[in-house]
């Protein structure tokens, strides 16, 4: 079985809601083993997080080494009664494959697996290099027992990657419109403002932190962090919640807090970004307001794969199938590419992401066939 649609349907029928695997990795492992891949199932653990099963498979032992990466875990389906077909049915209707994960990103994995199996069959199983698969079940949650540890495990074995294609749904409107070559970093924190609790009838005996945190939110949000860089849009700081934990209307609260997240470009590191925000906070508080920030740990650093031979190769393969020249983009949220980028250049190219995480998530069967051809084209050019 080397057609992408059949593989995708088998994967979708596994209800692999993070952290459950539900047989999804086994579907891939069976296919790859039969094609001559050496496969490894590796489970990682960490206190406070679920154990996660991962799959690493490789064929060939020489350079160049290209890897296809992805995740078989999916988000919950939501109200399953609202789906027009079963959320894990893998049903094809009106030219679309329906089911949770079809777009994000079992469809992309199926296309890469089918493309590799077809390529190997066409070339008699012989390679002028190596192909591997890095597949995790921990991308949609905290991402601590998945790709980040699988890469370390592979590196400890002496595995060296030259390039990687991550099959995330990179396209915005139409297959072929976008390749992700980078992502901004992500840093979260909580702003705390201390006051003095008291009765609202006697405000002179209290110090209300609510007006003060309002002023600080404006001060930290209003001034841009930067104007963007050559390959990235401007960084942005967004407050996402404000809370005082106060159920009484006649009590001035003793503390107010506000959560925020920053998506930052390559003009900053996590350290320099924190210093910039802390400096702005100090300026805004002056000598009166008592405030501080508690920063959350982050494994989401900014990265970019500079345009060059590898991106040119991917563009050519995409143009050949779709007739479109894709934009090289760094927009969007985080992905496992942030971990892979520490080991080799990585690009993200997969299906159209319009319905990911939605009710009736679906992928065009025509797009699944075209994406398989694109991955085949990448392999032909990479090893050709």
Catalytic residues: 73, 139
Distances (CA, A) of 336 to 50, 149, 183: 18, 11, 10
Contact (CB, 8 A) for 89 and 153: no
Buried b (16+ CB within 10 A) or exposed e, 128-152: ebbbbbbbbbbbbbbbbbbbbbbbe
β-pairing verdict for 251-252 and 198-199: antiparallel
Contact (CB, 8 A) for 146 and 71: yes
Contact (CB, 8 A) for 94 and 33: no
Q: Which residues contact 348 (CB under 8 A, 6 or more apart)?
A: 165, 166, 167, 168, 170, 179, 180, 181, 335, 337
Contact (CB, 8 A) for 244 and 255: yes
**The two three-digit tokens of residue 98, written as one number:** 């329906």
In the chain, beta strands by DSSP E: 38-46, 49-59, 65-71, 92-93, 96-98, 130-136, 163-166, 178-180, 182-183, 185-194, 198-199, 236-243, 251-252, 255-264, 290-295, 303-304, 327-329, 346-348, 362-364
């Amino acid at each position: 079985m080397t057609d992408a649609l059949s593989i995708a349907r088998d994967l979708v029928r596994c209800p692999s809601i993070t952290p459950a695997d539900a047989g999804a990795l086994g579907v891939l492992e069976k296919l790859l083993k039969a094609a001559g891949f050496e496969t490894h199932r590796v489970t990682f653990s960490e206190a406070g997080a679920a154990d996660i099963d991962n799959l690493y498979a490789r064929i060939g032992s020489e350079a160049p080494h290209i890897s296809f990466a992805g995740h078989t875990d999916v988000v919950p389906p939501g109200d399953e009664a609202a789906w027009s077909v079963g959320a894990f049915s893998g049903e094809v209707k009106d030219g679309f494959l329906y089911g949770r994960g079809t777009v994000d990103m079992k469809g992309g994995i199926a296309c890469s697996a089918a493309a590799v199996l077809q390529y190997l069959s066409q070339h008699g199983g012989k390679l002028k290099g190596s192909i591997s698969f890095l597949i995790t079940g921990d991308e949609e949650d905290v991402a601590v027992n998945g790709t980040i540890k699988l890469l370390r495990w592979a590196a400890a074995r002496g595995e060296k990657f030259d390039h990687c294609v991550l099959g995330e749904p990179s396209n915005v409107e139409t297959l072929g419109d976008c390749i992700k070559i980078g992502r901004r970093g992500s840093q979260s924190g909580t702003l705390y403002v201390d006051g003095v609790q008291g009765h609202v009838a006697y405000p002179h005996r209290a110090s209300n932190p609510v007006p003060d945190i309002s002023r600080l939110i404006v001060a930290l949000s209003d001034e841009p962090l930067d104007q963007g860089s050559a390959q990235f849009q401007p960084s942005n700081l967004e407050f996402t919640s404000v809370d005082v934990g106060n159920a009484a209307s006649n009590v001035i609260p003793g503390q107010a807090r506000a959560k925020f997240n920053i998506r930052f470009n390559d003009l900053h590191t996590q350290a320099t970004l924190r210093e910039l925000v802390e400096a702005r906070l100090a300026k805004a508080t002056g000598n009166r307001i008592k405030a501080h920030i508690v920063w959350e740990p982050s494994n989401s650093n900014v990265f970019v794969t500079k345009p060059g031979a590898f991106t040119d190769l991917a563009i050519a393969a995409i143009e050949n199938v779709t007739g479109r020249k894709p934009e090289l983009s760094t927009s969007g949220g985080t992905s496992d590419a942030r971990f892979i980028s520490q080991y080799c250049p990585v690009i993200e190219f997969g299906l159209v992401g319009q319905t990911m995480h939605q009710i009736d998530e679906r992928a065009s069967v025509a797009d699944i066939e075209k994406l398989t051809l694109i991955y085949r084209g990448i392999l032909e050019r990479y090893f050709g």
